Amino acid sequence: MFFQKKYTSKQKSIVFAFLLCVAAIFYYSWLPNPRLETETYLPLWLRNWSNTYFNLRTAIPFIPLGYLLSAWTSVSSSLFSVKWRFPLWINNTLIATIIICLAEGGQFFIKNRSPDCLDLVFGILGSTCGTIIHYCIKKFNQIIFH
C-alpha cells in the first residue's frame, strides 16, 4: 500500500494551505491585465510594488509554496512505503517547476499575457527559498526544544 489511509489534521491543513497557494498562483498568473490595476482589493502600495517588480513578484507566492512542500514531506515521510530515488528537495523543486510551467503555459491562451522565462527562474528560486526557510526553522526548533 502506497498511502496511509488516515491523515492527521496537520497534514490536512498543509494540503489545504498548499491548494490555496496553488489556486492563488494560477489566479494571478491568468489575470487578463498583468498590471493588477483591476485588483482594487489589494492595497495600493502592493499593486504599485508588483507593477514595478514584475519578475520578483512571481517569486513571492512560491516562497510559501516551497515552505508548504517541504513541510508536507517533513510531516508525511512515514506515509510513503517506497523509498524515493531523489532527495525530497529535488521532488519539491520538480513540483514547483510543474506548477510554474502550467501557470506560464496558461498565459499563451490569454489576451494581453505572454509567458516569460524569467518567471520560471524566479518561481523556482522562490520555492527554493521557501524550502530553505522551512529547513532553517526546523533546525532552529530542534536546537531550542531538543
Average pLDDT over residues 68-74: 89
Average pLDDT over residues 16-38: 92
Q: What's the rounded Cα separation, in Å, for the pair 116 and 16?
A: 28
Least confident of 25-29, 37-41, 121-125, 129-133: 37-41
Q: What's the rounded Cα separation, in Å, for the pair 8 and 105?
A: 34
Q: What's the rounded Cα separation, in Å, for the pair 130 and 128?
A: 5
Q: What's the rounded Cα separation, in Å, for the pair 24 and 88?
A: 24
Average pLDDT over residues 17-41: 92
pLDDT in tens, 90-119: 888 999 999 999 999 999 999 888 888 999
* pTM listed for this prediction: 0.86
**What pLDDT shows up at residue 145?**
86
Average pLDDT over residues 61-83: 80
H runs (alpha helix) in the chain: 9-29, 44-52, 54-75, 88-106, 117-145
